[in-house]
Structure 1
Amino acid sequence: MADVQLAPLRTIGDFLLESARFQIPNINDPEKWANRVMNNLLYYQTNYFLMALVTFLFIGIIHPVKMVCGFIAISIAFGGFVYCTSSQYKARRFKRDHPIVSVLLILLAGYILVYAVGAVIVFMFGIAFPMMLILMHASLRMRNIKNKVTNRLETVGLKRTPMGIILEGLGQEQEAGS
Structure 2
Amino acid sequence: VVLTEVGWYKTGDFVYLVEKSGHLFLTARKKDLFKLSNSKYIATQQLESLLKQSALVSQVIIVGAGRKQVAALIVPDIESLKIFLTEKGVDANRKREDICSDARVIKLVQREMSDLTADLNEYERVKKVGLLPREFSIERGEMTPTLKIKRGVIDKNYGDLLDKLFGDGD
**Higher percent of residues as helix:** 1
TM-score by length of 2: 0.26
**Larger strand proportion, structure 1 or 2?**
2
Q: Which has the larger radius of gyration?
A: 1
